[in-house]
Amino acid sequence: MVQAQAEQQSTSRVRAIFNVTSGNFLEQYDFFLFGLYAKFIGETFFKSESAYAALIKTFLIFAVSFLMRPIGALVLGPYVDRIGRRKGLMLTLTIMAFGSVVIAFTPGYETIGIAAAVLIFVGRLAQGFSAGVELGGVSVYLSEIADEHNKGFITSWQSASQQVAVIFAALLGFGIHQIFTEQQVSAWAWRIPFIVGCLIIPAIFYLRGNLQETEDFASRKHHPTTKEILSTLAKNWKIVIAGMLMVATTTTMFYFITVYTPTYGKEILHLTSTQSLIATIFVGASNFIFLPIGGILADKFGRKVILLSMTILILFSAYPLLNWLTHDISLAHMLVVLFVLSVLYSFYNGALVVTLTEIMPKTVRTAGFSVAYSLATSVFGGLTPVISTYIVEQTGSQSAPAFWLMTAAVVSLIATSYVFMVAKMHVVPKAAAVEL
């Protein structure tokens, strides 16, 4: 009887993980596609004198959408903490779906002029607004349905689900480049993956609609008002900022090895489109495997040791890795470099996400996580493609993006040391907030 109940509970938890991360899949799928087809989007929606100018404009739109994330976190985060995880995640999915439809079906610059760029901008802002609380809402939901001994492993599936989106988008892109010519892809075929994303939206609404509210939230006798939530966030601003700086490494690494990889491989290293997509599929698969392992390691050895060791390794390995790659460019060497960066990112992220859910005050867990994560994504991750493109152009060094990765590692190393040493958190936090 006890075994049957345990099996039923396990099955129910697996189903809940799948249902809640389905929206996460769509969010990352659309964000990744924008980076994957940046060159073609720039040519379609922007009038530019050069390919470099069009690419920079596209990546700026990509980056500007991240500025909406903190706003979304401040507006939607308190809503989720007040009204519930399930209802909040349904709302974020609705806004995200709107942005996806706009990007998929907006006519190009030659058809409607500057209105094309404006509509793409609006669509990206909607997606950024929604994404501001999507990751936080999913992470907190997973954390609240997990047991104490496996919180790192369970919450790691928030990030792991994103890798499925990366793999799916890259495989779809690979197929499109095999079927259509470069001219056809540039003219219209790049829209196909975005339309596919729109077609799966109803299925994701169905899955999210079957979510149950977490017992942790449902059992609370008092659900704070928006004013109370914002007041608690202001009181705990130090831990929110520290959390933001801890996220710097994971968001910068993620957007470099996934979103920026196709452009870096093709435009900077001059690999073929097929080779760049193969590299992207590879890194997505690697992330999917190692992210849960990172969560397990965080559960076994504690959050602090994983977070500190990974930032130090990133700091001292980023430049040697990219320098080696750019001095002997090949697909095989790119795969080796991406594999190493993928493992470092995955182990760090596996410990980070659960830590972020644990250091935030319980009553503002979603809002606190979302504000910290979205600020980091806006300041660091979202700017990674445009900064990497810019510093390569300005320095003439193909390995220059390593310095951006190293900067993020230093920032996170300091923040992690502060949280665990100055704030004196336990090596393995017991889901308790830190009041600073």
- Contacts of residue 322, Cβ cutoff 8 Å, sequence gap at least 6: 337, 398, 399, 401, 402
Average pLDDT over every residue of 15-24: 83
Residue 6, domain member (yes or no) = no
Residue 46, domain member (yes or no) = yes
- Contacts of residue 286, Cβ cutoff 8 Å, sequence gap at least 6: 338, 339, 342, 343, 346
pLDDT at 433: 42
Inter-residue long-range contacts of 58-64, CB under 8 Å, 24+ positions, other chains counted: 58/34, 59/385, 59/386, 59/389, 60/386, 61/117, 61/120, 61/121, 61/124, 62/34, 62/35, 62/38, 62/124, 62/259, 62/382, 62/385, 62/386, 63/382, 63/383, 63/385, 63/386, 64/121, 64/124, 64/125
Give 7's pLDDT tier (boundaries 50, 70, 90). low
Identify the CA nearest to 36 among candidates 190, 189, 252.
190
Please check whether residue 114 is in contact with residue 201, taking contact to mean a CB–CB distance below 8 angstroms. Answer: no
Residue-range definition of the domain harbouring residue 389 = 18-211+223-422
Identify the CA nearest to 311 among candidates 351, 339, 279.
351
Q: Which residue has the higher pLDDT, 107 or 136?
A: 107
Amino acid at site 68: M
The predicted-structure confidence for 62-97, as pLDDT tens digits, reads as follows: 777 778 888 888 888 888 888 877 788 888 888 888
Average pLDDT over every residue of 353-363: 89
In angstroms, rounded to a whole number, what is the distance separating the alpha carbons of residues 49 and 46?
Answer: 10
Average pLDDT over every residue of 224-242: 87
- Contacts of residue 333, Cβ cutoff 8 Å, sequence gap at least 6: 324, 325
Give 29's pLDDT tier (boundaries 50, 70, 90). confident
Amino acid at site 116: A
Identify the CA nearest to 338 among candidates 170, 219, 88.
170
- The two tokens of residue 125 are 């802002």
Average pLDDT over every residue of 331-345: 93
pLDDT at 8: 59
Neighbours of 181 (CB within 10 A): 10
Q: Which residue has the higher pLDDT, 313 or 60?
A: 313
**H helices within 146-180, ranges in order?**
151-179
Please check whether residue 213 is in contact with residue 85, taking contact to mean a CB–CB distance below 8 angstroms. Answer: yes
Residue 308, domain member (yes or no) = yes
- Backbone torsion region of residue 432, taken as left when φ is above 0, otherwise alpha when ψ lies between -120 and 50, otherwise beta: beta
Amino acid at site 392: V
In angstroms, rounded to a whole number, what is the distance separating the alpha carbons of residues 136 and 233?
Answer: 15
pLDDT at 173: 82
For residue 433, the SS3 value is: coil
Return the CATH number at 132.
1.20.1250.20
Q: What does pLDDT average to over the chain?
A: 85
DSSP notation for 7-32: HHHHHHHHHHHHHHHHHHHHHHHHHH
Residue 115, domain member (yes or no) = yes
In angstroms, rounded to a whole number, what is the distance separating the alpha carbons of residues 81 and 314?
Answer: 34
Q: Which residue has the higher pLDDT, 295 or 171?
A: 295
Please check whether residue 176 is in contact with residue 184, taking contact to mean a CB–CB distance below 8 angstroms. Answer: no
Share of the chain above pLDDT 90, in %: 28
Residue 408, domain member (yes or no) = yes
Residue 228, domain member (yes or no) = yes
The predicted-structure confidence for 119-150, as pLDDT tens digits, reads as follows: 988 988 888 888 888 888 888 889 888 888 89
* Model confidence at 25: pLDDT above 60: yes
* Model confidence at 229: pLDDT above 80: yes
Residue 12, domain member (yes or no) = no
Cα–Cα distances in angstroms (integers) from residue 259 to residues 38, 163, 294, in the given order: 10, 11, 21
Predicted TM-score of the model (pTM): 0.82
* Model confidence at 430: pLDDT above 60: no
* Model confidence at 249: pLDDT above 50: yes
Q: Could you tell me how many helices (H) and strands (E) the chain has, helices first?
A: 21, 0
Q: Which residue has the higher pLDDT, 428 or 66?
A: 66
In angstroms, rounded to a whole number, what is the distance separating the alpha carbons of residues 65 and 121?
Answer: 8
Average pLDDT over every residue of 301-316: 96
In angstroms, rounded to a whole number, what is the distance separating the alpha carbons of residues 149 and 246?
Answer: 23
| Termini Cα distance of the chain | 46
Residue 1, domain member (yes or no) = no
What is the number of structural domains in the chain?
1
Average pLDDT over every residue of 208-216: 79
In angstroms, rounded to a whole number, what is the distance separating the alpha carbons of residues 188 and 425?
Answer: 53
* Model confidence at 435: pLDDT above 90: no
Q: Which residue has the higher pLDDT, 187 or 429?
A: 187
In angstroms, rounded to a whole number, what is the distance separating the alpha carbons of residues 114 and 45?
Answer: 8
